[in-house]
């Protein structure tokens, strides 16, 4: 099927190479290209207990060398490229193409495609707060996270929209969560998309998800709660982000935002976007760049295939 369909390339999301049609494409000289399907915002390598266990038991990081079977394994930034190489991927196979998901072009297009989020607000609400939850908030929320969410919900002038991670089940099942969602100023947004929620919000709170880049694109105040995680993230290199090191900091920053004193300084975004969206380069059209590189990879593979065929013919002549 691969050969008869005359595919120019097979595209996969980040994964292992043992996928349907992978080796058939390889046999016919059709490039297998692996593209990012998310944006890991963490900068430390030991991001979860599983990786920590591997490191502690073997003294090594996970081995991703089998991903060299792809013709190109694409990451967004030079930071992610160094990470992949440190985990045993080939320097020749890992390429940083920029951040297509959070490029200026796609973020604008995506936002236009999405419906508006417009919940019914109690009359005394004065500030709309979006909180981006990590995937493990459903199964293992920290005491500090619970205390912060309950504290925000206890303020009748605040409306709290909670956006779950795409890998979560979208439902917090513990007793404290059931009590939280019974309040008229709290809503768990399982079906609404993050860009729409950011557009609706007055302020965004985050500590674990790269989707908070949407807040920076839309000029919304972004509070990064560093005390809720042991991980470090790319956001901590961005001076346009407002940092909270305790619960009291969060409420102070919310009050500043409510009084119009928590503006996003756009002048600090250029360096951050250069590193995290444009792979350390000056701004370019990331979507077009992806298309161009896919075409270039196909042309390169065709050339290599012709060279191999010519070499084989010389050997057999």
Q: Are 164 and 191 in contact (CB under 8 A)?
A: no
Residues near 268 by beta carbon (within 8 Å), at least 6 away in sequence: 238, 239, 240
Q: Are 74 and 33 in contact (CB under 8 A)?
A: yes
Closest CA to 41 of 280, 295, 233: 233
Token pair for 109: 């297009």
Token pair for 162: 């909670």
Give residue 309's pLDDT: 46
Give residue 317's pLDDT: 53
Q: Are 36 and 100 in contact (CB under 8 A)?
A: yes
How many CB atoms within 10 Å of residue 233? 23
What distance in Å separates the CA atoms of residue 164 and residue 124, rounded to the nearest whole number?
A: 26
Give residue 172's pLDDT: 59
Instruction: Scan for tokens 């013709």, then name that residue.
Output: 71
Q: Give DSSP secondary structure letters for 56-103.
A: HHHSS----GGGGGSSEEEESSHHHHHHHHHTT--TTTEEE---STT-
What is the pTM (predicted TM-score) of this model? Answer: 0.89
Domains of the chain: 10-102+277-316 (no CATH), 119-264 (3.40.50.2000)
In degrees rounded to 5, what are phi and psi of residue 272?
-65, -50
Tell whether the torsion through CA atoms of 292, 294, 297 and 302 is positive or negative: negative
In degrees rounded to 5, what are phi and psi of residue 253?
-70, -40
Query: Which segments within the chain are labelled E, that is strand?
Result: 10-13, 32-35, 72-75, 94-96, 127-132, 158-163, 186-188, 203-206, 222-225, 242-244
Give residue 258's pLDDT: 94
Per-residue pLDDT of the chain (317 residues; tens, 9 = 90+): 676 667 888 999 998 887 778 988 888 888 999 999 889 999 999 998 999 999 999 999 999 999 999 999 999 999 999 999 999 999 999 999 999 999 999 999 999 999 999 999 999 999 999 999 887 776 678 899 999 999 999 999 999 999 987 665 555 556 667 778 889 999 988 889 999 999 999 999 999 999 999 999 999 999 999 999 999 999 999 999 999 999 999 999 999 999 988 877 778 899 999 999 999 999 999 999 999 999 888 777 655 654 554 455 455 55
Residues near 100 by beta carbon (within 8 Å), at least 6 away in sequence: 35, 36, 76, 106, 286, 287, 290
CA atoms within 13 A on the CB side of 85: 13
């Amino acid at each position: 099927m691969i050969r008869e369909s005359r595919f120019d390339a097979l595209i996969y999301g980040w994964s292992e190479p043992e996928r349907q049609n992978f080796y058939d494409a390889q046999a016919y000289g059709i490039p297998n290209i692996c593209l990012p399907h998310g944006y890991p915002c963490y900068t430390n390598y030991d991001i979860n207990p599983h990786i920590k266990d591997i490191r502690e038991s073997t003294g090594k990081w996970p081995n991703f060398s089998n991903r060299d079977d792809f013709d190109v394994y694409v990451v967004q930034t030079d930071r992610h490229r160094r990470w992949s190489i440190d985990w045993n991927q080939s320097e020749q196979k890992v390429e940083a193409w920029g951040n297509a998901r959070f490029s200026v072009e796609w973020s604008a297009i995506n936002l236009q495609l999405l419906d508006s989020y417009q919940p019914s607000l109690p009359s005394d609400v004065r500030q709309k707060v979006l909180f981006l939850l990590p995937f493990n908030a459903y199964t293992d929320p920290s005491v500090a996270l619970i205390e912060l969410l309950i504290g925000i919900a206890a303020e009748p002038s605040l409306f709290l929209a909670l956006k779950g991670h795409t890998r979560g089940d979208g439902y917090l099942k513990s007793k404290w969560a059931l009590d939280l969602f019974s309040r008229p100023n709290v809503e768990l947004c399982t079906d609404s998309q993050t860009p729409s929620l950011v557009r609706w919000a007055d302020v965004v709170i985050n500590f674990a998800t790269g989707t908070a880049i949407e807040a920076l694109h839309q000029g919304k105040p972004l509070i990064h709660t560093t005390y809720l995680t042991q991980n470090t993230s790319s956001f901590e290199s961005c001076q346009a982000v407002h940092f909270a090191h305790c619960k009291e900091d969060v409420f102070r920053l919310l009050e500043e935002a409510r009084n119009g004193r928590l503006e996003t300084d756009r002048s600090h975004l250029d360096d951050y976007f250069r590193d995290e969206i444009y792979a350390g380069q000056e701004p370019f059209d990331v979507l077009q760049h992806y298309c161009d590189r896919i075409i270039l990879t196909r042309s390169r593979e065709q050339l290599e295939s012709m060279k191999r065929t010519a070499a084989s013919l010389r050997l057999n002549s």
